[in-house]
Amino acid sequence: MVESKEQLLFNTLSELHKTTPLSMISVSQLTRQAGVSRMYFYRHYQTYDDIIRSHILYLFNRFLRLVKKYHANDSQDTCTMFFKVIQTDAQSLGIFIVNGELNLVQSTFERCFTELLIQRVITPALPDSYATAFTIGGLTRLLIVWIQEPNPDSPERMGQVVANLVHTSNYEQV
């Protein structure tokens, strides 16, 4: 499978960030190592945060396409599908989290979970603003903890855990 330029930049940035603070990584170094032109970078991103944010949004959109395509039959299937999508880049996301980008990753996940609520892919157990805030915050924290686990539970196990906490429905664009 050929990686997209966005995926190449995300993976390369993650790899470089294992040993180097983002502020010390030059655009030239990143693009050269990723095999992507500087012009591509500047046309699509202003900062490295944009690469991380864009990639998380890409993962959530991929999840939504899969939910729509496969019409997951129950909450557990839907939640498992979500963790399978995130698992592909969990290690890279973990690198960003432990190296100072926790707030960026967390706020982006919160934005994505809010969108899943708006689109009624997930719903809180109770229909009020506190339950909504609790659901978004809880899912975000659970996901970050899972990403950071040295031996994380399988997507199937996580699907089971989350399905017990939230309700899901077949994806319908609102």
Whether residue 107 lies inside any domain: the answer is yes
Whether residue 68 lies inside any domain: the answer is yes
Specify the number of domains making up the chain.
Answer: 1
Whether residue 174 lies inside any domain: the answer is no
Q: What is the pTM of this model?
A: 0.89
Our CA dihedral for 139, 111, 80, 153, rounded to 10 degrees, sits at -50
Tell me, what's the pLDDT at 31?
Answer: 98
Whether residue 173 lies inside any domain: the answer is no
Alpha-carbon distance of 35 to 32, in angstroms, equals 5
Domain CATH number, residue 45:
1.10.357.10
Whether residue 141 lies inside any domain: the answer is yes
* Residue ranges making up the domain that contains 62: 5-168
Rounded to 5 degrees, what are φ and ψ at 58? Answer: -60, -45
- How many other C-beta atoms are found inside a 10 Å radius of the C-beta of residue 153? 13
Tell me, what's the pLDDT at 171?
Answer: 42
Whether residue 101 lies inside any domain: the answer is yes
Amino acid at 89: D
Tell me, what's the pLDDT at 93?
Answer: 97
Whether residue 54 lies inside any domain: the answer is yes
Tell me, what's the pLDDT at 166?
Answer: 77
Tell me, what's the pLDDT at 72?
Answer: 67
Q: Which two tokens stand for residue 156?
A: 């199937």
Mind listing the pLDDT tens digit of every residue in the chain (174 residues)? 568 999 999 999 999 999 999 999 999 999 999 999 999 999 999 999 999 999 999 999 999 999 888 876 678 888 899 999 999 999 999 999 999 999 999 999 999 999 988 888 887 777 788 988 988 999 999 999 999 999 999 999 999 998 887 766 544 433
Tell me, what's the pLDDT at 35?
Answer: 96
Tell me, what's the pLDDT at 165?
Answer: 79
